[in-house]
C-alpha cells in the first residue's frame, strides 16, 4: 500500500487564521508518501531515510506518549477511538520532497498520509473522506497535545487543490477549482523565527483588538472598514496602527482574491487574470513584509529577483522570519527559478495538486 499527500502554500490570509479570519490555501506538487505492508507481529517499524531516522514501537504500546509530539502513536490512538482496530503491525518507508521546516506543511502532510495509510490497512477500514482525514490529522497533531494551531494545513493537504477555510463562528471548508498557472517555490534555507513572528503578529494584534474594542465596542476585525482605522489613531502607537491597518487590508485582499479565483473556475486562464492574481499576492506580501515584518533581507532579494525575471507576484509563505516564499510565474517559471537560485535560494517549480491519495 502506498499513500501520498501534498504540501501546501497559503495564497491569502497569512497570519490571520488565529484571529478567526478565513484563509485560502493551495496544495502543491511536492508530496510525502508512505509505502508499507503488514508484519506477522504487532510491531510498527517506520523507516525515514530522508532524515536518517527509524522509529519502532508496538501496537500494544501507543500510550502514554514517550516523546514530545508523538504523532505516529497519537494518530493510532485517535483512529482506535473512532472504532478502527489493528491486529497486525506494519513496516513502512516514508519518502518526501516537500521542503522541511520551511512553512510548506511537511509535517501535516506526513500525518495525513499516516492516517490515510492506517485507515486502509486497519482490520475494518472506515474509508474516511479527505476532509475527515484532515480532521483526524489535526486531532493527532494539535488537539491531542493541547498545542495551538488551526486547520488550514491539515485540510489543505488532505483535500488538495485550492480551499477556502473559515473557522468562525464554525469551521467551514469550501473547495475552489480555479485555473491557475505555474508557481515557483523558493526556499531561503534560513530557519524560521516562528516564536518571534508570532509574538508580534498574533499576540501583538490580539492586544490591538483588545485596546480598540474597549474604546469602540462596535469594532469588528471581520467587518470594520479600512477607512475607519484612522479613528483609533489616538489609542494606538504608530506600530500598532500599522498592524491593524495591514490586517484589515489583508482581510479585504482575501475577499477580492476569493472572488477572482471563483470567477476563474468558470473561465479559461487569461493574461488579465494572471496579472490581477499576481498583483493581489504581492500586495499581501508587502503587508507581511512592511507591517507584520515576516520577511527577511534574503527573501526580499529572492522576491525582487523573481519579479525581475518575469514573475507576476508572490509572497512569503508560512510563519516567516525565514523559510519559503513563492512566486506566480505562469509563463516564465524556469527563468524565475534560476533567478531565485542566483540569490542563494533553493527553487522548485510547482503547480496546484490533488489531495491525499492511494498510489497503488
* pLDDT tens profile 190-210: 998 877 888 888 899 999 999
Report the pLDDT averaged over residues 164-178.
Answer: 92
Query: 15-71 pLDDT, tens per residue?
Result: 998 899 999 999 999 999 999 999 999 999 999 999 999 999 999 999 889 888 899
Kindly tell me if the per-residue pLDDT of 188 is higher than 80.
Answer: yes
The predicted-structure confidence for 321-346, as pLDDT tens digits, reads as follows: 999 999 999 999 999 999 999 999 99
Q: How does 79-94 read in b/e, with b if 16+ C-beta sit within 10 Å?
A: bbeeebebeebbebeb
DSSP state of 119: H
Which residues are paired to 164 by β-bridges? 24, 174
For residues 312 and 171, the model is more confident at 312
Task: Compute the mean pLDDT over every residue in the chain, rounded to the nearest whole number.
Answer: 94
Counting residues of the chain whose pLDDT is more than 70, the rounded percentage is 98
- In this prediction, residue 104 has a pLDDT band, given cuts at 50, 70 and 90, of very high
Q: Which domains does the chain carry?
A: 2-179 (3.30.230.10), 185-350 (3.30.70.890)
Helices (H), 202-332: 205-215, 238-264, 271-290, 297-308
Q: Would the pLDDT of 100 be above 80?
A: yes
Rounded to an integer, what is the distance from CA 215 to the centroid of its chain? 34
Give the model confidence (pLDDT) of 232-275 as tens digits. 999 999 999 999 999 999 999 999 999 999 987 666 668 999 99
Amino acid at each position: 500500500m502506498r499513500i501520498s499527500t501534498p504540501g501546501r502554500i497559503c495564497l491569502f490570509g497569512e497570519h490571520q487564521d488565529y484571529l478567526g479570519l478565513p484563509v485560502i490555501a493551495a496544495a502543491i506538487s511536492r508530496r510525502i508518501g508512505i509505502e508499507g505492508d503488514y508484519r506477522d507481529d504487532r510491531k510498527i517499524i517506520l523507516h525515514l531515510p530522508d532524515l536518517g531516522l527509524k522509529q519502532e514501537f508496538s501496537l500494544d504500546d501507543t500510550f502514554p506518549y514517550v516523546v514530545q509530539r508523538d504523532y505516529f502513536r497519537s494518530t493510532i490512538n485517535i483512529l482506535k477511538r473512532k472504532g478502527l482496530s489493528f491486529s497486525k503491525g506494519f513496516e513502512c518507508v516514508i519518502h518526501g520532497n516537500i521542503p522541511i521546516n520551511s512553512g510548506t506543511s511537511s509535517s501535516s502532510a506526513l500525518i495525513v498520509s499516516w492516517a490515510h495509510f492506517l485507515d486502509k490497512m486497519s482490520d475494518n477500514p472506515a474509508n474516511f473522506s479527505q476532509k475527515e482525514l484532515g480532521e483526524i490529522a489535526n486531532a493527532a497533531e494539535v488537539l491531542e497535545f493541547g498545542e495551538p494551531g488551526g486547520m488550514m494545513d491539515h485540510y489543505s493537504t488532505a483535500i488538495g487543490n485550492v480551499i477556502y477555510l473559515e473557522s468562525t463562528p464554525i469551521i467551514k471548508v469550501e473547495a475552489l477549482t480555479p485555473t491557475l498557472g505555474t508557481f515557483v517555490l523558493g526556499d531561503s534555507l534560513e530557519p524560521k523565527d516562528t516564536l518571534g513572528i508570532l509574538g508580534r503578529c498574533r499576540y501583538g494584534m490580539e492586544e490591538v483588538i483588545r485596546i480598540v474594542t474597549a474604546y469602540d465596542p462596535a469594532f469588528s476585525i471581520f467587518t470594520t472598514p479600512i477607512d475607519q482605522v484612522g479613528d483609533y489613531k489616538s489609542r494606538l502607537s504608530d506600530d500598532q496602527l500599522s498592524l491593524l491597518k495591514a490586517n484589515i487590508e489583508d482581510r479585504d485582499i482575501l475577499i477580492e482574491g476569493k472572488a477572482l479565483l471563483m470567477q476563474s473556475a468558470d473561465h479559461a486562464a487569461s493574461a488579465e487574470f494572471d496579472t490581477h492574481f499576481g498583483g493581489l499576492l504581492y500586495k499581501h506580501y508587502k503587508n507581511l513584509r512592511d507591517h507584520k515584518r515576516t520577511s527577511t533581507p534574503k527573501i526580499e532579494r529572492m522576491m525582487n529577483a523573481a519579479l525581475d525575471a518575469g514573475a507576476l507576484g508572490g509572497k512569503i509563505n508560512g510563519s516567516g522570519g525565514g523559510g519559503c516564499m513563492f512566486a506566480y510565474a505562469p509563463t516564465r517559471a524556469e527563468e524565475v527559478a534560476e533567478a531565485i537560485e542566483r540569490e542563494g535560494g533553493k527553487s522548485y517549480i510547482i503547480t496546484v495538486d490533488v489531495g491525499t491519495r492511494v498510489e497503488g
